[in-house]
A and B are shown apart, each in its own frame.
Chain A
Amino acid sequence: MDRSGVKKRLLGLDREYGILLVIVAFIFTVPLWSRPIPGSVLHMDIVNIMCLAGTYACAVLGLNLLVGYAGQISLGHAAFFGIGAYTTAILCTRLTWYPTWLGVLSGMVLAGVIGWLVGVPVLRLKGHYLAMATLGLGEIAFILFTQLKWLTGGTVGVLNIPPLSVFGFAFDSDLKFYYLVWAVVALILLFSVNLIRSRVGRGLRALHSSEIAADAMGVPTAHYKIRVFVLSTVLAGLGGAFFAHFQRYINPETFILSLSILFVTMVVVGGMGDIWGGLVGVIFLAFLPPVIQALPEWIPGIPEGLTNFGNYQLILYGILLIVFMMFLPRGIAHGLERGAAFTNRRYRLLADHVKARKYE
């Protein structure tokens, strides 16, 4: 083994693990400083927003692997999110003895099975066909959630979903759920980092840059694409199942096209194919609406009528989305990295220069 590799690992200079550690530490401290202060300017319930964001993060991190590494977009991940949510919700409310953690697992499995059934035929196609097919699938799932009344409760949905509990410990408050969901998100991140470094991950990266080249080099591209797609649906199912146990109530109107679009937007705004990008996108878009909503309190003088709820917020949301794509087309995470790298660049250029000299 090459010496520098060993040294790098020994010194713990593994960039990804380092970032992960920082994130975990940060997540752990959030509830400590973010207690909402009544009457203060920033009066939003950060832990509560983060709980919901955590459930989205599960789906988005999976989708990010699909978009970023398999180069495929899905406009139907709300369906898999919904399948996860409905599976656990129905099992745990109909069969009162059914353990909630098993409900979550069942939701993941069912989402994955349906993902596999859809993925195998569709992923043979190239281009944006998966996006179109998953869009159709999402709409069909929504119709089924609404129409299969005997199973899903129709438009009313499923009420009285129990909180998630493991070995008798119930995650029945925002704070408890916060630590649970973000611990799971951290595990998914760790898994993603390892996946990308594995042989499969290298294959995926080759796949993303050129499918034909990857094919030629013996990477089983079709196989990999399906695996990543199924993985992303399983993670969406996990997010959905968490969502059901957190909200304690679900109805079909949650699992609509705009949720699928929100997931894709989170991936792209954060940074496609950058593991941290998905996370950044989730947090950014989860906090954008409450921050926009709080704006008139900070900046007086916004014209009357425009401040009516929903109007300026959505106009501004739309415009910000465009502006961010324009200036950070490769995502916020990439922008952050570039900002951080800027300071290092001169040094690195010099180092390369010196190295180049040495071998001349």
Chain B
Amino acid sequence: MAERWPRVIASALVVFAATAGAPGVDAQEVEIHGFVQVNYSLRVADPAPGDPADDFLLGDHRVQLDLGRTSGSGAVRFGTKVDLIHDAITGEADLDLREAHVTFGGDRYDVTLGRQILTWGVGDLVFVNDLFTKDWTALIAGQPLQYLKVGSDAINTNLYLGPVSVQVVAVPFFEPDVLPRGDRLVGYTPFPGLPVAEARPDRRVGNTEVATRVYGYLGGFDVAAYAYRGFWGSPPGMRPDAERVTWFYPELSVYGLSIQGAFASGILSGEVGFYDSQQDSGGRDPSIENSQVRVLIGYQRAFGSDLTLGGQYSAERMLDHSAYRATLPAGVPERDRTRHNLTARVTRTFNYQTSQVSLFVWVSPNDKDFYLNPEFRHSVTDEAWVAVGVNLFGGSEPHTFFGQFDRNDNLYATIRYSF
């Protein structure tokens, strides 16, 4: 709504003033960067009855302000990224504080406090041990990849102990993944017609998510071990009653390993994670995900000057499938014990990497669903690029991971000017 603009602008000015005008900070030394971006996405699939009638999935206009400064000695640094957004579909303005953090440290450690984007693991769009918040609606609707990651309000402590480093991330306020809810993007729900309510974990210290990574370089490979204690961010648990379906976030622990390194003229990646579904250890609660083992193996290689090919196999295997089957409510489609996934990515650059054509394919041979994303991207100048692509989803069943997004097929275009 238009009346929100003054608030957004005022907030932006506050951010700017707080950073540029703070005592002891020379405005000249604050690095100011960012971009202006226009991002549209048009639904190309026919909607089913009950789907949102809008043709547009995105009409997104935004300015990202990226402000940062490192103290003279390099000991302290702050960084902020604020998106000022105008959604042309709803006419609403919004402000998204994507990052706002302070880092300090010494030779052997550093700590980053505040809202920050955290990513780890070795998969290409396949996340095994990275349980930091993701916005899947951004990916599905055709926003640039960076919007898949959402900032976590975290305390991120790093210890550098020579050959081994340790990273401990504590997130006091759990934020679940953003998933389609039928308002703009449609997805499968076993409870059609029921509105979604949400029950997040209580704001208690005991509900702090803790994610740990211990990593180092071993025999030519980057090796990492992971441990996570927190909640299922996606898929959520679902508890229906007569009036609504309540999404909740059951307790989850994950333990895993990853490796990545040069192998046979390419890059070999491997990752495994054991998902311990704490509130459904026997697998008999149909509203909570079963415990799982997730594995990933990938290989990527460059051919000649401009072509890169990559492939991955990944799987999610339920550990209590018979208990799951025994307690599955009538009418809810049954999932296989293991979901197998194959992905391929082909990237071809042209004209000194100023243009790029890429194709990402994700198929599940047993769930018989797919995701296809061809994209053309061109750097008009050093500052500006345009991208045009298509997101296509499909499957033989309407409830599978990608099959459920079938009616969100879209054609998207982005133009960005960076400064």
Partners in one complex: no
- A: residues with CB less than 8 A from B are none
